[in-house]
A and B are shown apart, each in its own frame.
Chain A
């Protein structure tokens, strides 16, 4: 295990792109909170605010046909993987235009086109799926990578350990990204794990693992690129522990009684967006008007998305029973490439 730190001045265009990506997630979710408060969207809503550098840095390193598995805190992952903000918001509205036609909601975003496999609300439930997606690639001789995001709370689940073991035992092309934001709802890491060094735990399964500053998008990207390249070239599973923090409550229902306001504000001083902004400004890479254009662009994207969701149509109740079982007429059987993946594989 080692710690990765980024150094040096970033490439301006690229840094600007990363800044934009983080800002897109931030603005989308600020809007979600607003829409939630206005009772436009309902259910559980878990925002990622403060953690944007993780998804932004990792997604940057993936190819279009790689696969991504995420948890219920996945708006950012979906967006940065390429699902449109409109399809995400429409999903939360329960509209037919939503990326899952209103059946998934905030916690269950899926998208076949970008190979985005959730959206899993069972803590650690996505890890075995990622192992299996990677297994399929291995068996079919494809050079694809599967990336799996999960919180540090998942590390206490048996499925975490089963998945680490299987991935390492079979040397599968999967990158595990543990988003360590220190709290599983109200349970601090130190109150749930005997060993709190998560990268070390993964290393115990003979998996190459690094701890990374999850507030520094450049560091995240660098570590992720190193890991993804290694995975893609046959180096077996890799593991990143991304040390981050969520600035907001666990969900909209959380009164946040378990942590001090001072702790939160200390972490907010390392806001990943301001951090990159600062680095770029110091290097003379972020003139006022560039920043102004960037924020205006992002705001426009989000307000267009809200408009799209607002004007969507509720998924009709007459469609309620669809997708419990497949429409068999659409599937003519195994051996002929049934299912979307079969044709590709």
Chain B
């Protein structure tokens, strides 16, 4: 079946709503407008305004209400337009969703799923372009998913809804229009393991979400130069599947981490640190990182592109790692 990332997301929502009447979608413009990224287009007509629930502009209020509804036995899917706006709901996500199970001594689960877009590349300026999923991956109590493929766009939601704990799903804005083949019977996928989406013994390229297509392109170019790469799609940023990373590095002895977040304190920093902690003697070269430059993402196209990871930068980092620089 030919589909898009957006349609796969929508199919996942529809499927979840049909399978479990406790599931409902709530967020700004998810209903009448059809979703600011058109993910929920048509669902209002299908499920009605109680379950496709438009909210006012009050991120903290409706995310908190989602947490309360989860405590009350529902299975809310809360959509936040972008990760940038989720900062207004940080208190609810971090101080409530992530902590209530622990603070209550195991009495209160918060089975909420919060979806939001992330990432840059569409000249929207700093306040619409940041990649902050790595920050959320810092928080114990949260599970952080970043579907990069059609199969994961289709399959992660249901698994997330079955998780008794809060799950945040980050959808990179550049992925919605990605089209491709998806099995007709595609459904839920597991969310515990990273995926090796391309194999090679030359080095390990580690990424997730919106940068996966770019990293695969870089891997193609490297292959043309005779450098075969393992490409790892992390899929889940917390809890991190470090086994897949360490297994690969043990074979390839070289690693490049590609992350659209800023380098300082990023998920790429965490991954590089774990490789150094646990696979130091496997390494034949320093771990390389390709991240966004440490600047608020600018508007002008050439500036924005220069700030973000690119195929060229990934290829250059890979060449440094394998020692074929220049």
- Name A residues whose Cβ lies closer than 8 Å to a Cβ of B: 67, 98-104, 108, 110-112, 117-120, 122, 125, 127-137, 139-140, 146, 158-159, 162-163, 165-166, 169, 322-326, 328, 331, 333-335, 338-342, 344-345
Contacts and interface: CB of A to CB of B under 8 A. Distances in A.
A344 B73 contact: yes
B106 interface: yes
B61 A139 contact: no
Interface string B163-181: 1110000000000000000
Interface in B125-166: 140-141, 143, 158, 161-165
B209 interface: no
B74 A139 contact: yes
Contacts of A98: 105
A322 B56 CA distance: 37
Interface in B34-81: 50, 55-56, 58, 60-76
B108 A110 contact: yes
Among A102, A137, A139: residue with most chain B CB under 10 A: A139
B92 A163 contact: no
A110 B19 contact: no
B103 interface: yes
Interface stretch (B94-102, B269-277, B313-321): B94-102
B298 interface: no
B64 A324 contact: no
Given A132-B67, A139-B74, A326 B164 contact: yes
B306 to A, nearest CB: 37
Given A127-B64, A325-B141, A345-B73, A334 B101 contact: no
Contact of A339 (B23, B91, B96, B164): B164
Contact of A128 (B61, B74, B105, B106): B61
15 contacts: A120-B96, A122-B91, A125-B96, A128-B92, A132-B76, A163-B61, A163-B65, A165-B56, A166-B58, A166-B65, A323-B104, A325-B101, A334-B23, A335-B20, A335-B162
| Interface range on chain B (Cβ under 8 Å from partner) | 35 or more
Given A112-B108, A132-B76, A322-B106, 5 more contacts: A104-B103, A118-B103, A131-B61, A132-B68, A326-B109
B208 interface: no
What does DSSP make chain A's interface, helix, strand, loop or mixed? mixed
Contact of A136 (B74, B164, B165): B74
A25 B64 CA distance: 30
B103 A103 contact: yes
A140 to B, nearest CB: 7
Contacts of A159: 60-61, 64, 91
B107 interface: yes
Given A139-B24, A342-B73, A131 B105 contact: no
A64 to B, nearest CB: 16
B96 A129 contact: yes
B315 to A, nearest CB: 38
B91 to A, nearest CB: 6
Contacts of A110: 100, 103-105, 107-108
Nearest to B62: A166
A217 B162 CA distance: 45
A323 B101 contact: yes
B203 to A, nearest CB: 33
A108 B102 CA distance: 10
A265 B102 CA distance: 41
A102 B106 CA distance: 11
Contacts of A335: 19-20, 162
Given A110-B103, A139-B50, A166-B58, A128 B73 contact: no
Nearest to B64: A128
A117 B70 CA distance: 12
Contacts of B74: 135-136, 139-140, 345
A125 B165 CA distance: 19
A132 B71 contact: yes
